[in-house]
Amino acid sequence: MPGRVLMIAGEASGDLHGSGVVRELKRLDPSVEVFGIGGGNMRAAGMEILVDIAELSFMGILEVVRNIGTVMKVSRTMEAVLRDRRPEVVVLIDYPGFNLRFARRAKAAGIPVLYYISPQVWAWNKGRVRRMKGVVDAMKVVFPFEVDVYRSEGIDVECVGHPLVEHIGVSVSREEFFRSRGFQPGKHLVGLFPGSRPQEIESIFPVMLKAAARLMEAGDVQVGVGVAPNLGAAVLRKHLPADSPIVLVEHGTYDLMAHADAAMVTSGTATLETGWFGTPMAVVYRTSSLTFFIGRMLVDVPYIGLVNIVAGEKLVQEFVQGEMTADRLAGEVNRLLREPAYAQAIRRHLSVIRPLLGVPGASGRVARAVLTLRNAA
């Protein structure tokens, strides 16, 4: 009988990073069956998708409460999978609200659990780490500083490096990118990265567009928008006037990040990716007032942007909740475009990001650990 691995990734970044693990599992053991929650990337890598991440594309405490029926339905579905298909290993990727609860179900069923891409427990009450000890058999983290957080509680932990290092990079030169996307070489290019969730788009993208309009009034600024693969351009296009000169960039997010002179980036992995290229940016974030209020009571870090959190210092400016206004955003990005010394200092500071993300091979290291757990079970 072939091996059976249940994987759960609840959002777009987890689907992308999980696809690498699926691909490596299939390479190491072509007979292995991989099934669970994921999206198009994991499906393309060979995973059987039982629940698509599109069903779980909401975020925040209030939003989860509003969609509790969906969460419970998916939870029951996956518990039935545990019982009926009896996987040999459960692999959970980030998405802590759902995955930490499911880890307890898996352990209660006697199935070993590997957690990949740590919940950001270093930002929460550290007591949650202690509670993870009994339900997680192996923790594979992506940042070096996370190791001590888990090791101090006696949890088997390894830093495997960040999976984005495996696939990040540019596909064309700046000249070719400008030519193929219709940008003018003589103008500054500003990249907008509004996120990968519809909820983020609705609350953040309109403000980004107002800031972009102010910047374009000078006549020497053009704007491109990175389109998340899981969304598609139609979700963003409805926010643009019919005659808008703003370019929606599909299948070229990394090229836009690398070749932009400055960027506005929604908090999350995209800030790390933009930082990898050394592109000066303004980090933005907005959620419901209730979610933000409760989050501020629970979270114990001074920054919201992952690029700042990982670096341990404020490399780039953050504009959160009420501070995320078109005027403030336009002012910061205009400074990045008009003050070369300021922009160059930020590029220099961002150079710390690449070493912190490790070397390629995270997916293979995780896949081998999964097979080791399976064989030991």
Residue type, 209: L
**Considering only 180-189, 308-317, 340-349, which range has the smallest mean pLDDT?**
308-317
Alpha-carbon separation of residue 177 from 181, 184, 197, 206, 355 (angstroms): 6, 10, 26, 25, 27
Q: Is the pLDDT of residue 93 over 60?
A: yes
Q: Note whether 356 and 160 are within 8 A (CB).
A: no
Q: Is the pLDDT of residue 67 over 80?
A: no
Average pLDDT, the chain: 90
User: Regarding predicted confidence, which is higher, 125 or 3?
Assistant: 3
Q: What is the pLDDT of residues 154-169, one digit of tens each?
A: 899 999 999 999 999 9
Q: What is the pLDDT of residues 5-31, one digit of tens each?
A: 999 998 888 999 999 999 999 999 999
- 357 CB neighbour count, 10 Å cutoff: 22
Please report the domains of the chain, with CATH numbers, ordered by start residue: 4-161+361-376 (3.40.50.2000), 174-356 (3.40.50.2000)
Q: Say what the pLDDT of residue 13 is.
A: 84
Q: Is the pLDDT of residue 326 over 70?
A: yes
Q: What residues contact residue 11 under an 8 Å CB cut-off, 6+ apart?
A: 53, 56, 57, 59, 94, 95, 196, 197
Crossing angle for the helix pair 326-338 and 340-350, nearest 10 degrees? 90
Q: Is the pLDDT of residue 200 over 60?
A: yes
